[in-house]
Amino acid sequence: MSLLLSLFFIINTAGAAEIEWLNLPNAVPVFTKPIEGASLLVMTKEGERIVIRKRGDRYTRVQVLRGGKWRAGYVFNTDLESPDVVTSRGEFGFGAGGLYSYLKHAGKDFETDDQVQYSTEDFMSTSFSPFLLMQYGQEDFWRFIFTYRLTAYTSSANTNLSATNGRALSLDHTMYSAILQKMWTPLAKPVFYYGFGLEASKAGDAKLVLGGSHLPVAAEDLPTYLGGHAAVGGQMDFGRSLSAFAELRFGGYVNQSPFILSAEAALGVLYWP
């Protein structure tokens, strides 16, 4: 809900010549009116970001986020003259990175066109996948991630013919994945974060090899993964416009039978306009 309200705020301020974001190193009072004796609206927090709406001779009109709503008030200009007050980066960051994935699911039974039945061992996949992302916010932020997800499952298959031995089995996918994450930053300085994500991935192609022989994969057999993960990570700033992050994810895909477990590590960089 706070994301929707923030987007509404941005859209409604799009007509302004420029939105100025400020980081305040100290707590300052925000008043309801630009007059002497006006009641206090809120006190800002140390390090809080505020939006400058209009500067005046003695007061500056600002907006402060409280309870998911942007509240407008006035601060003394002298409270904004500290050399420690810096213009903050924008609320949207754009970046890219790489994802190392370990996937595992239990074996299953299948039948080939020649009516030979196979029973497989556990499938395990280790692979590297590139991704693009957009992040909204610095504290308690949202991320949208598009991943060109690759899988490289390996297993072995035994047939119902007692005279044959197990045969090596490999299954590779190329998938298009969309992930929406919500992360929280519990510390005053948002370095460490944790949260969860929801993912939908659709395979665009697959390669199945059994005992050295390539088997066709029908379009209707290309899987769709639906699932989610819990995540922990850290994000560090490098100047005003760049930051880097490292993240661990643990989850799975609930619509697959058997259930697929996942453990992943991601590294990425973000640019803040």
* pLDDT tens sequence across 70-102: 899 999 988 887 766 655 667 899 999 999 999
* DSSP 8-state symbol, 109: E
**Residue that the structure tokens 């409270």 belong to:** 79
Q: 210 or 193: which carries more pLDDT confidence?
A: 193
Range 221-235 average pLDDT: 94
**Does the pLDDT value for residue 258 go beyond 50?**
yes
157, 149 Cβ separation under 8 angstroms: no
Residue 13 has pLDDT above 80, yes or no: no
Percentage of residues in the chain having pLDDT higher than 90:
45
Measured in whole angstroms, the distance separating CA 198 from the mean position of its chain's CA atoms is: 9
The partner residues of 242 in beta bridges, in order of sequence, read 238, 271
- pLDDT value, residue 67: 81
Q: How confident is the model at residue 262 (pLDDT cuts 50, 70, 90)?
A: very high
Q: Average pLDDT, stretch 38-64?
A: 88
Q: Which pLDDT band holds residue 163 (cuts at 50, 70, 90)?
A: low
Q: Is the pLDDT of residue 257 over 50?
A: yes
Quick one: average pLDDT of 240-252? 92
Q: Tell whether omega for the bond before 83 is within 30 degrees of 0, i.e. cis.
A: no
Q: Nearest to residue 107, comparing CAs of 95, 117, 96, 93? A: 117
pLDDT at residue 17, as a whole number: 38
- Sorted by sequence, the CB contacts under 8 Å of residue 236 that are 6+ apart come out as 191, 243, 244, 245
Segment 16-36 shows an average pLDDT of 78
- pLDDT over 60 (residue 12): no
Does the pLDDT of residue 203 top 70, yes or no? yes
Q: Look up residue 155 and give its two tokens.
A: 């297993």
Q: Identify the pLDDT of residue 189.
A: 65
Over residues 138-153, the pLDDT tens digits come to: 888 999 999 999 999 9
Q: Does residue 1 surpass a pLDDT of 60?
A: no
How many Cβ atoms are within 10 Å of 192's Cβ, its own excluded? 13
Average pLDDT over every residue of 179-206? 91
The answer to whether the beta carbons of residues 254 and 227 sit under 8 Å apart is yes
- pLDDT of residue 15 exceeding 50, the answer is no
Q: Is the dihedral of CA 22, 24, 30, 35 positive or negative?
A: negative
Model confidence, pTM: 0.66
Residue range 58-78: average pLDDT? Answer: 89
Q: Give mean pLDDT, residues 109-122.
A: 71
When the pLDDT of each residue in the chain is averaged and rounded to a whole number, the result is: 84
